[in-house]
A and B are shown apart, each in its own frame.
Chain A
Amino acid sequence: MVGITKRFPGVVANDDVSFEAAEGEVHALLGENGAGKTTLSNILTGLYRQDEGEIELYGEQVRFHSPRDALDAGICMVHQHFRLVEPFSVAENVVLGDHRGAARRFVFHSSAIEKRVEELSTRYGLAVDPKARVWQLSVGEQQRVEILKALYREARILIMDEPTAVLTPQEAEALFGTLRAMAGEGKTVIFISHKLHEVKAVADRVTVLRGGRTVATVDAEPATLRSLAALMVGREIDVARPLEQPRRLADVRTLEVDGLTVAGDRGELAVKDVSFAIREGEIVGVAGVAGNGQRELAEAVSGMRDIRAGSVRIAGRRLRGGDPREAIRAGVGHVPEDRLGTGLAPSLSVTSNVVIKTYRRRSFSRGPLLALRRMREAAVGIIRRYDVKTPGPGTPVRNLSGGNLQKLVLGREFEDDPLVLVVAQPTRGLDVGAIETVHSYLRDAATRGVAILLMSEDLDEILALADRILVVYEGEIVGELHAGAASIEEIGLLMAGGGSE
């Protein structure tokens, strides 16, 4: 790809980006969130069209007008957010849209396709049942379906976009093995990530992107984590984890969860008999692969999901469950993982979103009438205090960037003086600067005495922030560790279901 430029309203996602990858190579695209890696790969797969620049495939210039062109050229991508059709079976998903050979026939013969899928899955170590419906599969299995799609189409270039976000450390190792095997067969694998140690583990060469531009292309062997980090961020950062002294905490239990059992979306039990407590000012991190019950746990504590059995107590007061208003009144703040879809109303202004939970209070409404000016003042206050970059309090929140959205939500929750704060995936998709800011806000809140329940798929984040770590697997707590004593390997093992002796 040479000189690729892509603009979106308000931002240049790719600015004169160039890089090349060879046959039989695993080439990593490294950059922090927002550096332009996904946009670049979307251009390569035909989903977007570049504004300027050219793509050359095997020496010949190509122009993609649609994803079909890219697929025909042998380029397949496994996205961060899977492009699967959930009600369909694995086989149906694998063959979808394929118009070569066997699938060209008008009538659809599922058995032949299922057989081929089985062949491929055994050959590459991607175990999955071709007849299963995708919605029944785990996230790791769904990813395998995505890879099978590429293999079925005999892709020559495979792009993996942040694949390990949903895997345990062990599953990630297995994936790397599969990718290296594919490269060994002469395929080209492009590995997009912001995780330094992964890139170093699997790639042959690394291209670093920063702020929409290419910074450098280096060989993976001789590079160190430190040098890669420096390229990625533009300055030297300390990659080692600072060792922290365990903090002194008051003995007041703000959040008590006892025997909590919660049902998931499909009626199955997502949280099974979970018990733990969080003290005033303590940060408890919940580690686990996505889909093991963290989301349901967070929703139960914040009132968005019914409690099937067990109890949740806030400062001694037991919650009925299933009622967000009750939880809010009890002093539970909630920073949901879906910022713009759940925590905020996207088309409404910053002001409206600031008072979205508190508009009934006497400070914001006189009887049924709204006190619009006071709401605006409150919003302006939060914008200032939490450094939310926005043209003004009247701006629709969907115009704000991810980092500012998160600062807004955090600011709103903090201002309400919660006793307990449930925080889910707080820094997903944010750049390093925003991540640091969010972490500092969370630490401040803890210092002020807020009990924080932190769910994160980013182990580094949990290790950096938490006082105690709970590991969930299949809805149960399988391990409890103190942050100082925890190691990534141990946590990873627990996350994958291997209990400690």
Chain B
Amino acid sequence: MKLERRLEQPWWLSVAVPLGSLVVAFGMMAVILAATGHDPVETYREILDAAFTGNGAFSATFISATPILFTGLAAAAAFRMQLFNIGAEGQLYLGAVGASWIALQLGDRSATSTPLYVVAMCVAAGLAGALWALIPGVLKAFARTNEIITSLMLNYVAGLLLTYLIFDSSSYWRDTSTLQARAFPQGKPMPEASNWPTFGSEVVVPLGFVIGLATALALWVLYTRMRFGFEVAVIADSPRAARYAGMRTRRKILSVMAVSGAIAGLGGASQIGDFTYTLDGSTTGLQAAAFGYTGIVVAALARYNPLAVCLVAVLIGGLQNAGYTLQGPDFPSGLVGVMQGIILFCALGGELLLRYRLRIRRRSSAHGGSGPAVEPAR
């Protein structure tokens, strides 16, 4: 048994391997479930029902899928250039802060046009997220500081900021109107007009999801059809070659981080506009949802392809949704994380098959072994 590097990659392999690793992952999960006394088939059926087929399930799945669609795109945008932006979590929080600020501001000025709110919230959120991402971006570009740790540390700082805004200050975001609100801290409710519309009635699709799809398309075009994407591809493959070719690597780092942060920020806007209608500063709400980290899982499974991210986000969203719905004595918490982890492990293992082929060596003489026709040495 030997591993040899592949010379070229047949196209069907990039679909077969991820699918195959998914199958393997579910298989392993089934074994673990069985070993801990749960019936795997029954569990899977329940998951499927809670995620997609049951009453109102798909709508709930969209609620889970929307934020990780954004963070998945954010991660994909950065990881494609070997910029490991782990900070989507914090960038999303900052986006929420920005979006809620502009919504409240507009509300104070009695604005009533929902489209105005939507656009304003997206812009504010994108800016906030981009700025937060530029901190590790600048540090990486100019001080060559490892972006993984810096963006990660800023996640914690962003979370603390959220808590501070709502719990330990009398900030603009905090609701101080009633006695109860002053005693049990919470965020100001957003103006009615700032609630984002939805689509459909049987299956309800939030506006955020649609915005996410549009973002995915835009990202795909940017990375495959534009100069921007070409430079990203070269820098990712060989920073030395990029410098040789006269590319401005530092500027690219900044712009990619900004794009990534902006997309994550949009996720924050969607949280406010689509779902919570207020800034949630508690440590058990937004901060416990781990949208940013789940987004990384989504991006890795989608192999950083923006269009694939959309699909994977729905799948993982379904899984998460099922996790929340089914939580109880029969359905252990932590199962979701375990499943995601196993899926990722299998996907990583599958990567190997994409880059290398397994050659089974026969110990016999002469010209054993299969493989491409070999020409004499050059």
Point out the residues of chain A lying under 8 angstroms from B226, CB to CB: 368-370
**The one of B7, B237, B243, B244 that contacts A347, using a Cβ cutoff of 8 Å:** B237
- Contact flags (1/0) for A30-67 with B, using CB distance below 8 Å? 00001110000000000000011000000000000000
User: Which one of A9-17, A76-84, A100-108, A279-287 is at the interface?
Assistant: A9-17
Q: Are A324 and B243 in contact (CB under 8 A)?
A: yes
Beyond A13-B377, A369-B226, is A352–B241 a contact (Cβ under 8 Å)? no
Q: Which of B221-260 contact A (CB under 8 A)?
A: 225-228, 230, 233-234, 237-238, 240-248
Q: Is B377 touching A359 in the complex (CB atoms < 8 A)?
A: no
Please judge, given known A-B contacts A11-B375, A34-B378, A211-B377, whether A399 and B8 are in contact too, CB under 8 Å: yes
- B377 contacts A356, C-beta separation under 8 Å: no
Task: Tell whether A7 is near chain B: CB-to-CB under 8 Å.
Answer: yes
Q: How many residues of B contact A (CB 8 A)?
A: 34
B234 contacts across to A, CB distance below 8 A = 345, 348, 352, 356
Point out the residues of chain A lying under 8 angstroms from B377, CB to CB.
11-15, 34-36, 211-212
Asked if B4 lies at the interface with its beta carbon under 8 angstroms from chain A, I say: yes
* Contact segment of A258-266, A336-344, A440-448: A336-344
Beta-carbon contact of A324 and B246 below 8 Å: yes
List the B side residues contacting A36 at CB < 8 Å. Answer: 377
Report the separation of the CA atoms of residues A344 and B234 in the bound assembly, to the nearest whole angstrom: 9
Select from chain B the residue with minimum beta-carbon distance to A325.
B246
Which residues of chain A are within 8 angstroms of B378 by Cβ–Cβ distance? 11, 34, 401, 403, 431
| B374 CB within 8 Å of chain A | yes
Q: Is A178 an interface residue (CB 8 A)?
A: no
Q: Which residues of A contact B369 (CB under 8 A)?
A: 7, 51
Quick one: which of B230, B248, B371 has the most chain A CB within 10 A? B230
Contact A10 B246 (CB under 8 A): no
Interface string of A308-347 (1 = CB under 8 A from B): 0000000000000001111110000010101001111111
State which residues 1-30 of B face A: CB under 8 Å: 4-8
Q: Indicate if the CB atoms of A341 and B241 lie closer than 8 Å.
A: yes
Give A346 to B234 CA distance when docked, in angstroms.
9
Q: Which of B119-149 contact A (CB under 8 A)?
A: none
| In the complex, residue of chain B having the shortest beta-carbon distance to the beta carbon of A302 | B244
- Quote the shortest CB–CB distance from A359 to chain B (angstroms): 6
B372–A9 touching, CB < 8 Å: yes
The reply to whether B225 and A370 contact each other, CB–CB distance below 8 Å, is yes
Determine the distance from Cα of A8 to Cα of B242 in the docked complex, in whole angstroms. Answer: 30
By beta carbon, the residue of chain B nearest A336 is B244
C-alpha gap A431/B6 in the complex (Å): 25
Q: For residue B194, give the distance in angstroms from its CB to the closest CB of chain A.
A: 33
Q: How far apart are the CA atoms of A483 and B228 in the complex, in Å?
A: 47
**A325 to B226 Cα, complex, angstroms:** 20
Docked complex Cα distance between A196 and B354 (Å): 44
Q: Across the interface, do B230 and A346 meet the contact criterion of CB distance under 8 Å?
A: no
How far is B240's CA from A373's CA once the two chains are assembled, in angstroms?
26
The residue on B at minimum CB distance from A347 is B237
Asked if A357 is an interface residue, CB under 8 A from chain B, the answer is: yes
B238 touches A304 (CB 8 A): no
Residues of A near B243 (CB, < 8 A) are 304, 324
On chain B, the residues within 8 Å of A431 by CB distance are 378
Chain A residues whose C-beta falls within 8 Å of the C-beta of B375 in the assembled complex: 10-12
A346 lies within 8 A of B238 (CB): yes
Q: Which residue of A lies closest to B233 (CB)?
A: A348
Choose one: A9, A328, A342, A352; the contact of B4 (CB below 8 Å).
Answer: A9
Asked if A356 and B245 sit within 8 Å, CB to CB, the answer is yes
Residue B36, interface by CB 8 Å? no
Tell me which residues across on chain B come within 8 A of A334, comparing CB atoms. 244
Contacts of B177 in A (CB 8 A): none
How far is the CB of B255 from the nearest CB of chain A, in Å? 12
Cα–Cα, bound, A237→B361 (Å):
41
Tell me, yes or no, whether B376 is within 8 Å of chain A by CB: yes
- Given A15-B377, A342-B240, A369-B226, check contact A9 B371 (CB 8 Å): yes
Complex: A453 Cα to B227 Cα, angstroms: 32
Tell whether A425 is near chain B: CB-to-CB under 8 Å: no
Q: Is B365 an interface residue (CB 8 A)?
A: yes
Given contacts A341-B241, A399-B7, contact A328 B246 (CB under 8 A): yes
Q: Are A343 and B230 in contact (CB under 8 A)?
A: no
Give Cα A325–Cα B250 distance, bound, in whole angstroms: 14
A360: CB under 8 A from chain B? yes
- Residue on B nearest A395 in the bound complex, by CB: B8
> Is A217 on the interface with B (CB-CB < 8 A)?
no
Could you tell me if A352 and B246 are in contact, using CB atoms closer than 8 angstroms? no
A345 near B238 (CB under 8 angstroms)? yes
Are B246 and A344 interface neighbours, CB within 8 A?
no
Interface residues of A in 364-421 (CB under 8 A from B): 365, 368-370, 372, 391, 395-396, 399, 401, 403
Task: Looking at the assembled complex, report how far the CB atom of B364 sits from the nearest CB atom of chain A, in whole angstroms.
Answer: 10
When distances are taken between beta carbons in the complex, the residues of chain A under 8 Å from B371 are 9
Q: B246–A357 contact, CB under 8 A? A: yes
A10-B7, A304-B244 are contacts. A360–B374 as well, Cβ < 8 Å? no
Say whether A9 contacts B241, CB under 8 Å: no
When distances are taken between beta carbons in the complex, the residues of chain B under 8 Å from A395 are: 8
CB 8 Å contact bits of B360-371 with A (1 = contact, 0 = none): 010001100101
Of all chain A residues, the one with the shortest Cβ separation from B7 is: A399
Which residues of chain B come closer than 8 Å to A341, judged between CB atoms? 238, 240-241
CB distance from B189 to the nearest CB of A (A): 42
Please indicate the chain A residues that have their CB under 8 angstroms from the CB of B247 in the complex. 325
A9 nearest CB neighbor, chain B only: B4
Smallest CB separation, B132 vs chain A (Å): 26
Listed residue (B7, B234, B245) with the most chain A CB atoms within 10 angstroms of its CB? B245
Q: Hey, which chain B residues are within 8 Å of A401, CB to CB?
A: 378
Residues of B with C-beta under 8 A to A391: 8
Q: Which of B225, B233, B240, B365 contacts A352 (CB 8 A)?
A: B233
| Residue from the list B227, B241, B246, B374 in contact with A345, Cβ < 8 A | B241
Say how far A138's CB is from chain B's closest CB, in angstroms.
Answer: 24
| Complex alpha-carbon distance, A393 and B246, angstroms | 23
Closest residue to B240 on the A side, CB-wise?
Answer: A342
Q: Is the CB of A345 within 8 A of B237?
A: yes
Q: Which residues of A contact B244 (CB under 8 A)?
A: 304, 324, 334, 336, 342-343
CB distance from A16 to the nearest CB of B (A): 10
Contact of B237 among A7, A9, A13, A348 (CB under 8 A): A348
Q: Which listed residue (B4, B227, B365, B374) contacts A370, Cβ 8 A?
A: B227
Task: Give the docked Cα–Cα distance between A334 and B374 (Å).
Answer: 34
Asked if A10 and B374 sit within 8 Å, CB to CB, the answer is yes
Cα(A341)–Cα(B241), bound, Å:
7
| A357 close to B245 (CB less than 8 A) | yes
Given known A-B contacts A13-B377, A341-B240, A370-B225, A359 and B7 have beta carbons under 8 A apart:
no
Across-interface contacts of A7 in B (CB, < 8 A):
369, 374
A327 to B238, CA, bound (A): 20
A35 to B245, CA, bound (A): 33
Q: List 15 A-B contacts (CB under 8 A).
A: A8-B4, A10-B374, A10-B375, A11-B374, A34-B378, A325-B247, A325-B248, A328-B246, A342-B240, A348-B234, A352-B230, A357-B246, A368-B227, A391-B8, A431-B378
Q: List 10 tightest A-B contacts by C-beta distance, closest first.
A: A325-B246, A212-B377, A345-B237, A324-B246, A356-B245, A345-B241, A345-B238, A342-B240, A357-B245, A347-B237
A residues at B contact (CB < 8 Å): 7-15, 34-36, 51-52, 211-212, 303-304, 323-328, 334, 336, 338, 341-348, 352, 356-357, 359-360, 365, 368-370, 372, 391, 395-396, 399, 401, 403, 431
Beyond A7-B374, A323-B246, A347-B237, 8 additional pairs, beta carbon < 8 A: A9-B5, A12-B374, A14-B377, A212-B377, A342-B244, A344-B241, A345-B242, A369-B227
